[in-house]
Structure 1
Amino acid sequence: MQNQEEQAGLPLRWVELLLALLLVAGALLLISDSLRLGIGWADDGPRSGYFPFRIGIGLAVCSAWVAVQQLLAWRRTRTLFAEHGQLRDVAAVLLPTAVYVCLIPWLGIYLPSALLIAWFMWRNRGYRWWSVASVSVGVSMLVFIVFERWFTQPLPKGPIEHWLGF
């Protein structure tokens, strides 16, 4: 049997309640923007906000229902969404990936991609520095060749690619 510390984690009731409230907020935003665009019919058919308004109403009602159900069952719900160790594992992937996404507008996609691959290889240990460097740079170069040269689809570039003349 696990002790209390091992069982500690994020309760499911909080996750369900917060997600339901977040979806209600998103639905209200959708509804308000649909009202701005117009939710009725024009001479040539439905206006731009007609269908999004109805989807927003459905999403708001369903999400509010989930939130109310969760509040009514609050004391009976003891299930964990995730234990602390599981949340640490998720954060170990989520945080570097979020930094990666934030770096793309300023550095392009190739350098942050190489850094992300290098980070995960270094973090998992067991790889020599030359393996980390060659794989991370090699994958970024391969992506450049495939997308930029073969498919002629430009990906975001940063100052390094411009300095190198790509």
Structure 2
Amino acid sequence: MQEEQDLQSEAPSGAWQLRWVELGVALFLLIVAGLVIKDSLRLGIGWADDGPRSGYFPFRIGLALAGCSAWLLIQQLLRWPRLRSRVFAERGQLRDVAAVLLPTAVFVAAIPWLGMYLSASLLIAWFMWRNGGYRWPWLVGLPVAVSVSLFLLFERAFTQPLPKGPIEHWLGF
């Protein structure tokens, strides 16, 4: 009975159907597996005098990923008609994901120019303002305190430098 309802109903307008998302992920992973296998073959997948060559383990991981991806692809194609009305995400849910994904992508893209600490401060301030409704004293104070704490932790305690931007260079770090 549930299958009959699934076959008769369609996904709401603006929603991403589960079958397309799962098919896309399976195809994407199959492409990634192909790239891993191809590069592993370039590096060599056998044994050398001193042990396995550079592509030995990645080749096997690529084969496993290709097998899993092919299995997912076959499953999706076999269940294709039954998944017509199943919804992966609706427009509002995708908007919520984009509200986190896009600022995070900007953060990652800004790191080479602004450095890790300033980029992190801006990202924290953005989320505090956009999602938390915080006012200016908090929007400046807390992100700066977090970035200074991260600087002390990574640069001083762990002695692991992170990408620096113009502010750190101006301060002599």
Would you say same fold, with TM above 0.5? yes
Gaps of 5+ in 2: 1-9
Please give the secondary structure, in 1, of the residue aligned with 2:88: strand
Please give the secondary structure, in 1, of the residue aligned with 2:81: coil
Please give the secondary structure, in 2, of the residue aligned with 1:76: helix
Separation in structure 1 between the aligned mates of residue 131 and residue 53 of structure 2, nearest angstrom: 53
Separation in structure 1 between the aligned mates of residue 145 and residue 40 of structure 2, nearest angstrom: 47
The answer as to 2:122 corresponding to 1:115 is: yes
Separation in structure 2 between the aligned mates of residue 113 and residue 45 of structure 1, nearest angstrom: 42
Residues 1:24 and 1:163: Cα distance change in structure 2 (over 3 Å) = same
Q: Deviations over 1:14-51 (max 9, x none)?
A: 11111111111011111111111122233444322223
1:51 paired residue number:
57
Counterparts of 1:64-75 in structure 2, within 5 Å, are 64-75=70-81
Q: Residue 116 of structure 1: CA displacement?
A: 0.5
Separation in structure 2 between the aligned mates of residue 42 and residue 150 of structure 1, nearest angstrom: 40
1:162 paired residue number:
169
Separation in structure 2 between the aligned mates of residue 51 and residue 126 of structure 1, nearest angstrom: 49
Q: Deviations over 1:138-163 (max 9, x none)?
A: 21112112222233322211112101
Q: Deviations over 1:95-134 (max 9, x none)?
A: 1011101111111111111111111111025322111111
For these two proteins, the number of residue pairs brought into alignment is 163
Question: Paired residue for 1:106, among 103, 107, 113?
Answer: 113
2:147 paired residue number:
140
Question: Paired residue for 1:35, among 38, 41, 53?
Answer: 41
Aligned AA for 1:53? F
Please give the secondary structure, in 2, of the residue aligned with 1:81: strand
Q: Residue 83 of structure 1: CA displacement?
A: 1.8
Separation in structure 2 between the aligned mates of residue 86 and residue 75 of structure 1, nearest angstrom: 24
Q: Residue 8 of structure 1: CA displacement?
A: 4.7
Q: TM-score, normalising length from structure 2?
A: 0.84
2:99 paired residue number:
92
Separation in structure 1 between the aligned mates of residue 61 and residue 138 of structure 2, nearest angstrom: 50
Larger displacement relative to structure 2 (105-114 or 151-160)? 151-160
Q: TM-score, normalising length from structure 1?
A: 0.88
Gaps of 5+ in 1: none
Residues 1:21 and 1:108: Cα distance change in structure 2 (over 3 Å) = same
Larger displacement relative to structure 2 (23-32 or 151-160)? 151-160
